[in-house]
Structure 1
Amino acid sequence: MKTALSYQIYESKSQLPENWDELSCKNIFLSKEYFEILDKSAPNNMICHYIGLFKDQNLVGIAISQFLDLNKLESFGERDRCMKTSARKFILKRFASHVLVIGNNMLTGQNSFVFSESISKTEGVKTLKKAANELKLKFKSMGKKVHITTFKDYDKNDIENFTKESDSFKNNYRYSVQPNMIFTIPFQWKSEQDYISSLIKKYRDQYKRARKKAEGIEKRKLHLEDIITLEDTIYDLYHHVAQNAPFNTFFLTKNHFRIFKEILKDNFLFYGYFLDGKLIGFNTLIKNGDSIDTYFLGYDDSIQREKMLYLNMLYDMVAYSINKGFKSIIFSRTALEIKSSVGAKPVEMFGYVQHSNNHINKQVPRIFPLLEPQTIWQERNPFK
């Protein structure tokens, strides 16, 4: 007889079972260390929970959920000012301000769960759906009714587990959002020069032009004490970029990068870019097994344009990952075309979403396109 899975919901890293990291070793973003970062520096409008799945009292799955209160946001993003943007803000404020995410809204990709091989993904996902329903009741008791529940960022293979042998998601709308931009590093590449040599002339010229533009900029690896000293400037640079994004559901806290470095240490890389001794930009990377995940960045926009700083950051990320022997770079979504121009490829991502109001839920297929910013872009192929 098949044993049904049970689950336990935790509010902090300190409550997790001792053997949690036996599963999280497959994904740093489900580890106790990373959850400690969220406990100490999650965005102010976010509440995190951690979910353990059990079979015969044995831990067989781990997952994360995030509750977002969009009413606490100062802005959804200021870059685009148009009727569609206004409509999106109105809909979010009135009908979708409380969002429960099974997954990680701060990252791109399948960072929702890890299951052991002793259970099927279909079993695991079905149990997470039950946990999500309990979380909705929990927030309701706190006076925070969940409007939207979403399971986010799965590729074509993973998304099939949501409907296989289960009707748990029959009333959910399946959506596709902007792709995850992933750079797969050929095994034969050992240095940045291998990358440069593989580019066609147009993109070799782009590389040379960008590098020449950046002359005079000093790139420096920052340690914890540097991050603390420059914290105000770092946050200003980050906030400028975030504020001018087309759409935001959260803003980082000022101490976020400091906490990240304190806890993840060498698995979190922080690079500052200086001009005449002044910090004008930064980017961050996270080591996650044999992959590098790009994280948040910031820059002075006027200098960025003149010095092609963002493009140079992308080249630096590629060079570091090749030199250190990583297999891939998760560039995430946004800035799709420029990431494509350095060699990243789009991977389509899917999710499921359900509104708590049945009448509104029936209209989600019509409403959802208004909530997701549309991006028109041309994929590039820089390689020979």
Structure 2
Amino acid sequence: MSSKIYYDISEVNAKEWAKSINPNNLFINYNFLSHFSKHQKELVHIYYLDGKNRFYANIFNINIRGLKGYSNYKLFKFIIKLFRFKFLYFTNSFLTNISSFEINQDFNSDKLVSSILEDKNADFIVLPDFLFEHTRNSVVDAKFHKIEVEEDMFLDIQSSWTNFESYINSLKTKYRKKIKLIFEKSSCLKIKQLTSSDLHNFKEEIQNLFNNVINENKFQGKKFNTSIFEDIILDYPNFKIFGYFLEDKLVAFSSEFANFDNHYSYFVGFDYGLNKKYAIYGRILCESINNAILGKKNKVVFGRTANEFKSNFGAMPKKSFVYLKVRNKFLAFILKNYIKNIKPKKWKQRNPFKNYKLKA
């Protein structure tokens, strides 16, 4: 089985890349990955052709100072504050809970990793659970640590929801009132689907709004360049960016995109100083749910942040794990026991629906 690794997408034959993938799979599509290569230049982009399999991965530096909140060990907290580490992550590092690969035959994860490390250096190797545990992975490396990370949040769209009103009617009184309050607070906001020209004109505002959100995250990697949206929406009509305006000022944006039966609510940015007064983030979630219902999708995928808040809207957690290997033997020895104790922060799951119980 022949294998080829490229670090420049211009060297990848588009027809050869597409030969073994579903053309409707956005996340492994050649043009989609080309836009990431063009706009996210601080990453090492890896395109791995392994027989009939296709893999996309990244290498990047990351500040994991926020990881100290996952552990009570003082030595662990001290070490991770000192360094920035280089990670090899085997999926799109900006879409960490989504499969940026297509698998059509057996593969050897150890071979995938070692082949890349012949050319590139990394301190940590990270494989998402949906790759490491894949039924066609022929190798399970015992040196990887299984680590629980923040849950992926999703909302199953019920067949009885034909519009947003029917969704609201399925909620308990307490949560219907919360939705009503969100719409009252955000009534002065104007919501507009942004064109490529709009994205260009509001380029700086969109980047700043996104940075407001990402700076709250525990893991500080390379900044996401939101100018990528200008190119993506031209190629993919299902990828939409919505602007939220207070008078003529852009105070928030959200991205929504469909892939097969799923509706993704992902990259967002908003003004934290205005969020409470105008219920901006709550309105973004409501709009995403409404658009998923109107688009007749089966599920809304919300991602991994603000889990407890999202559960007020019916979102459910899906346990998520990564498999981590520390390449430096000394560092691996020091961190071994501490890594095992890393746990995501606990939060309270809400059950807003009146006629059925949520199931994880």
Normalising by structure 2, what TM-score?
0.88
Q: Structure 2 vs 1, CA of residues 33 and 110 (structure 1 numbering), >3 Å: closer, same or farther?
A: same
Query: Greater share of helix residues, 1 or 2?
Result: 1
Q: Match of 1:193, SS?
A: helix
1:269 aligns with 2:240: yes
* Structure 1 partner of 2:133: 159
* Structure 1 partner of 2:258: 287
Q: Match of 1:40, SS?
A: helix
Q: Structure 2 vs 1, CA of residues 345 and 13 (structure 1 numbering), >3 Å: closer, same or farther?
A: same
Count of residue pairs brought into register by the alignment: 350
* Structure 1 partner of 2:348: 378
* Structure 1 partner of 2:358: none
Displacement of 1:374 in angstroms is: 3.6
* Structure 2 partner of 1:62: 54
Assess if the C-alpha contact under 8 Å between 2:9 and 2:37 holds in 1. Answer: yes
* Structure 2 partner of 1:142: none
1:48 aligns with 2:45: yes
1:191 aligns with 2:134: no
Assess if the C-alpha contact under 8 Å between 2:57 and 2:93 holds in 1. Answer: no
Q: Structure 2 vs 1, CA of residues 37 and 277 (structure 1 numbering), >3 Å: closer, same or farther?
A: same
1:307 aligns with 2:278: yes
Q: Which of 78, 86, 91 in structure 1 is aligned with 2:80?
A: 91
Tell me the distance in 2 between the aligned counterparts of 1:85 and 1:241: 28
* Structure 1 partner of 2:209: 237
1:32 aligns with 2:4: no
* Structure 2 partner of 1:227: 199
* Structure 2 partner of 1:113: 101
Q: Could you list the per-position Cα deviations for residues 126-154 of structure 1 after superposition, in whole angstroms to 9, with x for gaps in the alignment?
A: 1x431211211201xxxxx3111110242
Stretches of 4+ moved more than 6 A in 1?
82-86
Identity, % of aligned positions: 22
Displacement of 1:90 in angstroms is: 4.2
Normalising by structure 1, what TM-score?
0.83
**Paired residue type of 2:8:** S
Assess if the C-alpha contact under 8 Å between 2:76 and 2:338 holds in 1. Answer: no
Displacement of 1:93 in angstroms is: 4.9
**Paired residue type of 1:208:** K
Q: Structure 2 vs 1, CA of residues 309 and 89 (structure 1 numbering), >3 Å: closer, same or farther?
A: farther
1:104 aligns with 2:78: no
Tell me the distance in 2 between the aligned counterparts of 1:42 and 1:217: 31
Assess if the C-alpha contact under 8 Å between 1:247 and 1:373 holds in 2. Answer: no
* Structure 2 partner of 1:348: 319
Q: Could you list the per-position Cα deviations for residues 91-128 of structure 1 after superposition, in whole angstroms to 9, with x for gaps in the alignment?
A: 2653x611111112211424142212xx2xxx22x1x4
Unaligned runs of 5+ in 2: 355-360
Q: Match of 1:250, SS?
A: coil
Assess if the C-alpha contact under 8 Å between 2:14 and 2:30 holds in 1. Answer: no
Tell me the distance in 1 between the aligned counterparts of 2:61 and 2:93: 12
1:178 aligns with 2:150: yes
Tell me the distance in 1 between the aligned counterparts of 2:213 and 2:73: 21
Assess if the C-alpha contact under 8 Å between 1:108 and 1:153 holds in 2. Answer: no
Displacement of 1:341 in angstroms is: 0.9
Q: Structure 2 vs 1, CA of residues 85 and 230 (structure 1 numbering), >3 Å: closer, same or farther?
A: farther
Q: Match of 1:20, SS?
A: helix
**Paired residue type of 1:68:** F
Tell me the distance in 1 between the aligned counterparts of 2:302 and 2:6: 30
Q: Match of 1:154, SS?
A: helix
Tell me the distance in 2 between the aligned counterparts of 1:256 and 1:183: 27
Structure 1, 7-16 or 202-211: larger mean CA deviation: 7-16
Tell me the distance in 2 between the aligned counterparts of 1:85 and 1:192: 48
Q: Could you list the per-position Cα deviations for residues 334-358 of structure 1 after superposition, in whole angstroms to 9, with x for gaps in the alignment?
A: 1001111111111111221111123
Unaligned runs of 5+ in 1: 55-59, 140-144
